[in-house]
Amino acid sequence: CDVAEHRVKLIRTAVERMGFANVTTLCNDATCPNPRLPAADRILVDAPCSGLGILAKKPDIRYKTLDKARHDELLATQSAILDTAVALLKAGGRLVYSTCTIEPAENQQQIAAFLQRHPEFTVVPPKVPLPAGMQAGEYGCLSVPARTEMDGFFLCVLQKAQR
């Protein structure tokens, strides 16, 4: 799902290119519950973010100042998307939260706040080895370009209790 149809088309194209099956795309605002969406075993939340991890690819981001009001709105959007995903995730399911920023408020602090609101979730380590230099912590895994020679990004795998 994405709120913008042109990005949904990009998702469809990527799904087809990679040969994935059982993927349905939908133009949908992920901050709001949608009763048409079925419960899922796995959910990926690739959250909108400040993009501070991809400055090498998009250097103009550094010149777009993110004022406090816009940053607070971004944090609220991330939080709402996570909370909406919770309702769609089956018991025992996994939710992956990811961003392309290295900003702690959008990453580790967002996960810490999520766990306070949803104690039925725990952070689990990814099942694949992390790239060299990538840090795994209490609230997820962070790639910092100076350490990994990759873009900066964050991911956290969250497991919902079985009930």
State the Cα torsion 95-99-105-110 to the nearest 10°: -10
- Is residue 27 part of the annotated active site? The answer reads no
Alpha helical stretches, state H, the chain: 5-18, 68-88, 108-117, 145-148
C-alpha angle 126/153/64, rounded to 5°? 160
Selecting among 1, 32, 49, 100, the annotated active-site residue is 100
Separation of alpha carbons 91 and 51, rounded Å = 32
Q: How many CB atoms lie within 10 A of CB 139?
A: 21
Catalytic residues, by residue number, are 100
